[in-house]
Amino acid sequence: MSDKKANGLIFNKQNYMWMAIGAVVIIVSLLLMAGGKSPDPKVFDYKEVYSTRRITVAPILLVLGLVIEMYAIMRKPQPAGK
């Protein structure tokens, strides 16, 4: 019987590790997008809302995190001997 069916899990430890890394990257990207509250709601701070961190870095990290998650799901578990 294969190791996959013996313990009832679809993924192995490496898959779960990659999923955790992808989740951390996604959380970091969402935290980078957050914020930007102005002390005065009548004042629009263009530099704060449209900063490079929010419109470039965070979306790139978000897509990278999703790619890592796809890799973690599609990755075939290696046999126990390798």
Of 77, 28, 33, nearest to 53 (Cα)? Answer: 33
How many distinct structural domains can be found in the chain? 1
> Which domain range does residue 61 map to?
8-74
Rounded Cα distance, 73 and 10, in Å: 10
In a domain, 67, yes or no: yes
pTM score, two decimals?
A: 0.78
Please work out, in degrees rounded to the nearest 5, the angle formed at the alpha carbon of residue 24 by the alpha carbons of 20 and 28. 170
Rounded Cα distance, 37 and 42, in Å: 11
pLDDT in tens, the chain (82 residues): 455 555 677 888 999 999 999 999 999 999 999 877 778 878 887 888 888 999 999 999 999 999 999 999 998 877 666 5
Rounded Cα distance, 1 and 22, in Å: 31
In a domain, 1, yes or no: no
In a domain, 82, yes or no: no
Please work out, in degrees rounded to the nearest 5, the angle formed at the alpha carbon of residue 74 by the alpha carbons of 6 and 31. 115
